[in-house]
Amino acid sequence: MLSKELGNASLLAGDYSADERVAAFLLDLAGRFAARGFSATRFHLSMSRGDIANYLRLAAETVSRVLSRFRTQQLIQIEGRDLDILNPSGLKAIGQALLPE
pLDDT value of position 53: 94
Packing angle, helices 49-56 and 60-72, rounded to 10: 110
Helix (H) or strand (E) holding 44, with range, is strand 42-44
pLDDT digits (tens, 9 = 90+) for 69-96: 999 999 999 999 999 999 999 999 999 8
Whole-prediction pTM value? 0.86
CB neighbours of 53 closer than 8 A, spacing ≥ 6?
59, 60, 62, 63
pLDDT-derived band at 14, boundaries 50, 70, 90? low
- Delimit the domains of the chain by residue range: 8-96
- Quick count: other Cβ atoms within 10 Å of Cβ 82? 11
pLDDT digits (tens, 9 = 90+) for 22-40: 999 999 999 999 999 999 9
Question: Which CATH number applies to 8-96?
Answer: 1.10.10.10
**For 1-101, where are the alpha helices, taking DSSP H only?**
8-12, 18-35, 49-56, 60-72, 88-95
- Indicate the average pLDDT of the chain: 88
pLDDT value of position 81: 93
